[in-house]
C-alpha cells in the first residue's frame, strides 16, 4: 500500500509516551537530537509530538513491520501523514 506512519494512540498516557521515547532513543536505531533541546522538531514541545516523532522514526528504521509499531499497545499504524495533522503549524484554508 501507500505510506504508513506509526503514531501514539490518542489514549496513550504520558508515562507510556515517555517510556517509548526513552526506549527509542536508547535503541541506537534513531537519532533523537531533533526532539532534544535546540532540535529542529522540539516545537511543539509536547510529549505527544515528540513520541510520535520517535516512534515513527523507529518504525521506519526497523523496517516498517507491524510488530515494530506496538510499543506495548500504545501505538497504532496510520495512513494519514502525522506531520500534516499535529507536527506542523496548521494552515487555515478557506472552503
Tens of pLDDT, residue by residue, the chain (95 residues): 579 999 999 999 999 999 999 999 999 999 999 988 888 887 778 899 999 999 999 999 999 999 999 999 999 999 987 666 554 444 455 54
Q: Please give the residue range of the domain that contains residue 32.
A: 5-84
**Coil, strand or helix at 8:** strand
Q: State residue 88's pLDDT score.
A: 45
Sole residue written with cell 505527544: 48
pTM: 0.81
CB atoms within 10 A of CB 14: 10
Sole residue written with cell 535503541: 27
Q: Tell me, yes or no, whether 50 lies in a domain.
A: yes
Cell numbers at residue 12, please? 496513550
CB atoms within 10 A of CB 47: 17
Q: Tell me, yes or no, whether 73 lies in a domain.
A: yes
Q: Tell me, yes or no, whether 70 lies in a domain.
A: yes
Q: Tell me, yes or no, whether 35 lies in a domain.
A: yes
Q: Tell me, yes or no, whether 67 lies in a domain.
A: yes
N residues, the chain: 95
Total of domains in the chain = 1
Q: Tell me, yes or no, whether 95 lies in a domain.
A: no
Q: Tell me, yes or no, whether 33 lies in a domain.
A: yes
Q: Tell me, yes or no, whether 89 lies in a domain.
A: no
Amino acid at each position: 500500500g501507500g505510506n504508513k506512519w506509526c503514531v501514539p494512540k490518542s489514549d496513550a498516557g504520558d508515562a507510556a509516551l515517555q517510556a517509548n521515547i526513552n526506549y527509542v532513543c536508547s535503541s541506537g536505531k534513531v537519532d533523537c537530537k531533533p526532539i532534544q533541546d535546540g532540535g529542529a522538531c522540539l516545537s511543539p514541545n509536547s510529549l505527544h509530538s515528540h513520541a510520535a516523532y520517535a516512534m515513527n522514526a523507529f518504525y521506519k528504521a526497523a523496517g516498517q513491520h507491524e510488530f515494530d509499531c506496538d510499543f506495548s499497545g500504545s501505538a497504532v499504524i496510520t495512513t494519514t501523514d502525522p506531520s500534516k495533522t499535529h507536527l506542523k503549524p496548521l494552515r487555515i484554508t478557506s472552503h
